[in-house]
Amino acid sequence: MGIIQAQNPFVTNIYTADPSARVFGDRLYVFSSHDVNTCNSNQGSNGFCMPNYHAFSTTDGTNWTDHGVMLDQNDVPWVARNSYGMWAPDIIEKNGTYYLYFPAPPADGSGFRRIGVATSKSPTGPFVPEKNYMSGVNGIDPGVFTDTNGQSYIYWGGGETLKGAKLSANMKSITGPVVNLRGLPSGYKEGSYMIKRNGVYYFTFPHAKSGSEELAYATGDNPLGPFTYKGRFMDRWTNGCWTNHHSMVEYKGKWILFYHHNKISNNDKLRSIEADFLTFGPNNTINKVISTRKGISGGFGPVTQEPFGGVARSIPGTIEAEDYDIGGQGVAYNDTDPVNNGPNVFRENEGVDIEARDGGNNVGWTANGEWLEYTVNANAGAYDLEARIATISTGKSIVAKLDGVTLGRFNLPNTGGWGAFQTVKIENVRIAGGTNKILRLEFEGGGTNINWLKFNSRTTDGGNCDVPYTSNGVTIERQTVNWTSGILDISCASSVDVSLRASGIGAMENADFLNIYYKINGGPQVTILEHVNTFPEEILTVDNLKGNTLEILVKSYTSFAAEVYTVDAITVKSQGSGLQQTLAPELILTNQPVSDQNQALVYPNPLSRDNFILDLQGFNNDINVNIFDIKGREVYHTTTTKSSIDLNKEDIFPSKGLFILKIRSANKSQQLKLLIN
């Protein structure tokens, strides 16, 4: 086993052809035939010398692991020894077993090629071949496909007609009639490969329409046709490589086309596999793919977690279990086996096991220690959680966590059958609001089917928490104080508004300070006010805080008596519930003109006419003027060097009422109240 780092071709240590790409678990695998140039005149066919099959895998499209030989020609009992005719293979997984289908020259001479099956419990082997080739399947280039209803099909052939049939339950024989696929263009065709996308069957094949092979496709509504020919999606080679054999697969949300060419050898019989991204157009079309030197190298980058479908799920609301995040094993989910054990109804290339029950898809085959994650946008509040589950035993549970914090545990009853779904509940779960939060469901004991999880709001305000909250706060005089409101539970409100009053009286020095902060959910402290020296009375507000908990903190120091800081009239209320508290009478009295020339003057006040004058004598240098409404929202700001400014009431104030005027310069600051009539 070795590591290969490559662009196109991405395997350069040996010659490879006929890539069959599959996703098993969180890895992308490519299985290829192997071109060598060691045959004598009695070996190989049509100039091709091909002894065995190799497996390669990646998680990033750049670094590929070479898993070595999966199956050699001389390991197969029915294959002519040293015949070097192991042409294009395909592989598929079902019920935990990997089935490798391959064409080879039979020792009994019954055909140019017969198709055989080998099995393994690992996608990289070792594979054990059946003793005989498949009955009724005579030709080259097997392609296999499992439909969303669980029925598997095999396609084969090289020539004017391509064929298909249903595979039996054991995946080693066909059942029912062999169908000549209709609706395909005339000319030589081979390399059948089927995918299903958005309910449409895409039958793809190399087509020798005019010289070398181009890659073409047809679509239909039945896996055995008839089909409608749509044209080519990759042009033929024009530089001496006659063949092109392909496969296509979706990995980490991107479609990839695998194909081969002879870039390294310039020899039509020594080919190398390559890969490029593939896209779809309108009306079920495939956009043309151009071979590039870069290929898919670097096209995936670090594995990231993203919401399924690109949109975060909402709380409150219902979250379907199968809509877990994109990101793969160990990132968006943990599943103890790498394949989807469900009947391929949804997200069949991932490890989570999904089936159709209870009127929709559900996640099943869960095991102890498995988990699923969902990106959610949550409104803060109290919720009842419901889960739709089915089990056949007791003692099982599902733990729900949000950003690592346990919301609760569903203790599951025996519902009486895998399809006998019941709804279980966890009551009064409090959730902090926020976007792009990670919801995790952890399965304890396994053996549980889950259809969906639902968050039902209990209340939008006034629930069992600390909203509304009021406090007389703290007074600081000749002491150091670290005051806290304590941890307030605000989870029953979608958001809260905070209001408080702060003032400083006395001849404070630079050592005296008053700092006010808040914390949401125990996080970093956020500044409401940081101040030194004396300052006038201020009404401070912070709006629309969302979370589970809130803490208000006051940190302050004054050095002498009569130097007093006060923080009081602290109120926390649900947003929009009328935040402004009933203020002390002296706060709602309007300021009268002040004769001291060192103080700012507003006249008239109350403001009863459109224009008013702000006298700023006594303030030095750049003077900052701010006007706030009672909830702390700024309605006006300017910076001036003038000793007075003329203002227009209608240009500034959105309504009547009380407003706060703050004036600051290098030498002083002042606060005034303005009553707008």
Residues classed as catalytic? 18, 190
The C-alpha atoms of residue 351 and residue 356 are separated, in whole angstroms, by 16
308: Cβ contacts below 8 Å, ≥ 6 apart: 323, 324, 325, 326, 374
582: Cβ contacts below 8 Å, ≥ 6 apart: none
The Cα-based distances of 212 to 160, 188, 194, 241 in angstroms read 15, 10, 22, 7
The Cα-based distances of 660 to 552, 663, 674 in angstroms read 23, 10, 6
Nearest to 600 by CA among 621, 575, 623: 623
Q: How far is CA 537 from the centre of its chain?
A: 49
ω into 226 cis (within 30 of 0):
yes
Written as six digits, the tokens of 650 are 């209608």
Neighbouring CB atoms inside 10 A of 347's CB total: 18
- The answer to whether the CB of 556 falls within 8 A of the CB of 515 is yes
Written as six digits, the tokens of 109 are 């001479």
The C-alpha atoms of residue 356 and residue 529 are separated, in whole angstroms, by 57
DSSP string, 423-454: EEEEEEEEE--EEEEEEEEEEES--EEEEEEE
The C-alpha atoms of residue 641 and residue 648 are separated, in whole angstroms, by 19
The Cα-based distances of 500 to 492, 570, 573, 626, 653 in angstroms read 21, 4, 12, 19, 22
The C-alpha atoms of residue 49 and residue 38 are separated, in whole angstroms, by 7
Query: What is the CB-side half-sphere exposure of residue 36 using CA atoms within 13 A?
Result: 16
- The answer to whether the CB of 666 falls within 8 A of the CB of 622 is yes
The Cα-based distances of 141 to 18, 37, 91, 434, 671 in angstroms read 9, 21, 12, 53, 86
**3-state DSSP call for residue 484?**
strand
DSSP string, 347-375: STTSSS-EEEETTEEEE-S--TT-EEEEE
- The answer to whether the CB of 274 falls within 8 A of the CB of 32 is no
Tell me the CA end-to-end span of the chain in Å, nearest whole number. 84
65: Cβ contacts below 8 Å, ≥ 6 apart: 1, 2, 3, 4, 56, 57, 58
Written as six digits, the tokens of 406 are 């346990």
Tokens 């079920």 found at: 284
Query: What is the CB-side half-sphere exposure of residue 422 using CA atoms within 13 A?
Result: 14
The C-alpha atoms of residue 391 and residue 422 are separated, in whole angstroms, by 9
The C-alpha atoms of residue 554 and residue 485 are separated, in whole angstroms, by 9
The C-alpha atoms of residue 436 and residue 313 are separated, in whole angstroms, by 9
